[in-house]
Amino acid sequence: MDTEAAIVARLREVVGTAGLLTDPADTAPYATDWRGLYSGRTPAVVRPGSTAELAEVVRRCAAAGVGMVPQGGNTSMVGGAVPAENGGDIVISLARMNRVCAVDPVDLSLTVEAGVTLKAAQDAAAAAGCLLPLSIASEGSAQIGGVLATNAGGNNTVRYGNARDLVLGIEAVLPDGEVLHALRRLRKDNTGYCLRQLLVGSEGTLGIITAAVLKLVPRPAEREVALCAVPSPAQALALFARVQRDDPAALVAFEYMSGTGMDFVLRHIPGTALPFAPAPHYALIELATPRRNAGLRAALEEVLAAALEAGEATDAVVAGSGAQQAALWRLREEHAEAQRREGASVKNDVSVPVSLVPELIERGAAACTALVAGMRVVPFGHLGDGNIHFNLAQPEGADPAAFLAHSHAIMDAVADVVRDLDGSFSAEHGVGRLKPYLLASWRGGAELATMRRIKQALDPRGLMNRGKVLPAE
């Protein structure tokens, strides 16, 4: 077995000094996750500048039997992109592969390298008069490679689906260093197994995505954003159903927030303010259409008036400018950051059929509050697609570690409710390092067995992002 120093030297030959970090002060940010759950160790962070370099890095790691941890913006909520504490695995950062290669407003496609941030990809689409309809709170840091590897969901799933629904083509380096060239931009291509979709959502365990062709849509001509105060989750669902009935083609996002989560945002995030008096629950609605003179604003005001009349909302504001739209969205997008500043939290990224969201929130709250005195229930998220972040914040002033010692009890209590409602234990954040232990009981039998056979076929020595997704046998 080669020494770590020998392997690092061989990788330096490929990427040069500029493409390699070895000083622990430089590698530490790559070995720690955004939530602060894991602090790993790595002998080196390799930052290749091209697919050819990356493929050679993978070949050399594979030849030496060294594990590899692919990493994009390192915004995983489940520790999916960090190395283990005791490990010698090499982190492979895609950050330098950040070129926007092509945008085609007729094909409605965008070709980017994996290290392009989601925000930069959105900007490239906008500059060509198009829209990349994927939006997540971490889009300023999250990179396309990671967004696809984790099949990110986000705010627009109700209209445009998840990341996997926006992928036309992919280029990836497989665990043996071979390059999978499938960077096609075809709308129809029915030629055998869909390998790009195998890579999407594989969380870096089957290979490293190096570039992708994404689907775009025409840029909206009209866009409206409203914030509503709602009396209960059940009324939020009724409001969603009303908006969806009225003009399903215009609905882009329907987000739910609790009064507790909003309070965290208002206290921790400078410059945020509510446009009306605080309420027990909130809904944020975005509508958009590519049709000009569609009268979207009048239509939205009409729907909201009917909702107020029916008691589904008690207050509502439609943003009057782009800046106000951004300010309303900020109240929702800053929920994760505000919770982080409030202290330790246990996250349950769960989904249920949309119609059961109120039941999830009510039963989940009842199941949790009994577990830890003073714990705060902070559910929020993508009501329109059934994905609620059923998060629990530590009691005020409590010791974070003592609270986190209850993590598994809390997650199990929520999981029992979710299972009863035919839901999923991970709706959009993936499995990562945090949740492989849940896979056997939720996706056991032929599902897990097939996943293992795929992993065995592509990565027989288990070198790609080990310890993630699949539980140890």
Residue 9: C-alpha distances to residues 6, 318, 438 (Å):
5, 59, 39
435 interacts with ligand 2HG by CB under 6 A: no
Find where tokens 């400018």 sit: 321
380: its two tokens = 């929020």
Residue nearest to ligand 2HG (CB): 336
- Other residues' Cβ atoms within 10 Å of the Cβ of residue 84: 19
Closest approach of Cβ 334 to ligand 2HG, in Å?
A: 9
- Tokens at 410, concatenated: 């809390």
Closest CA to 416 of 393, 396, 390, 397: 390
Instruction: Report d(CA 80, CA 204) in Å as an integer.
Output: 8
Enumerate residues 186-225 that contact ligand 2HG by CB under 6 A. none
The reply to whether 389 sits near ligand 2HG by the rule CB under 6 A is yes
In the window 246-275, what residues touch ligand 2HG (CB under 6 A)? none
Applying CB under 6 A, the site for ligand 2HG has a residue count of 9
Site for ligand 2HG in 111-140 (CB under 6 A): 137
Does the footprint of ligand 2HG cover residue 376 (CB under 6 A)? Answer: no
From residue 199, how far is each of 71, 148, 151, 290 by CA, in Å? Answer: 15, 8, 9, 32
Pairing of strands 45-46, 90-93: parallel
Residues 6+ apart with CB under 8 A from 342: 264, 267, 268, 393, 394
Range 287-326, binding ligand 2HG (CB under 6 A): none
Q: Could you give the CA distance from residue 428 to residue 387 in angstroms, rounded to a whole number?
A: 8
* Residue of 156, 391, 394, 465 that binds ligand 2HG (CB under 6 A): 391
- Residue 336, interface with ligand 2HG (CB under 6 A)? yes
Q: Pick out residues in 337-366 that bind ligand 2HG (CB under 6 A).
A: 347, 349
Task: Write down the least CB distance from residue 391 to ligand 2HG, Å.
Answer: 5
Considering only CA atoms, which of 338, 335, 349 is closest in space to residue 411?
Answer: 349
Closest distance to ligand 2HG from the beta carbon of 11 (Å): 34
In the complex with ligand 2HG, the residue whose CB is nearer, 336 or 352, is: 336
Rule CB under 6 A: is residue 47 a binding residue for ligand 2HG?
no
> With binding defined as CB under 6 A, does residue 335 bind ligand 2HG?
yes
The nearer residue to ligand 2HG, 120 or 137, going by C-beta atoms, is 137
**Residue 51, interface with ligand 2HG (CB under 6 A)?**
no
Of 207, 381, 384, 467, the one binding ligand 2HG by CB under 6 A: 381
Region 133-172 residues binding ligand 2HG, contact defined as CB under 6 A: 137
The H or E element containing residue 45 is strand 45-46
The answer to whether the beta carbons of residues 367 and 390 sit under 8 Å apart is no
Q: b/e for 298-311, b at 16 or more Cβ within 10 A?
A: ebbeebbeebbeee
The least CB distance from residue 245 to ligand 2HG, in Å, is: 25
Per CB under 6 A, which of residues 60..89 are in contact with ligand 2HG?
A: 77
* Nearest residue (CB) to ligand 2HG, 335 versus 455: 335
Binding site for ligand 2HG (CB under 6 A): 77, 137, 335-336, 347, 349, 381, 389, 391
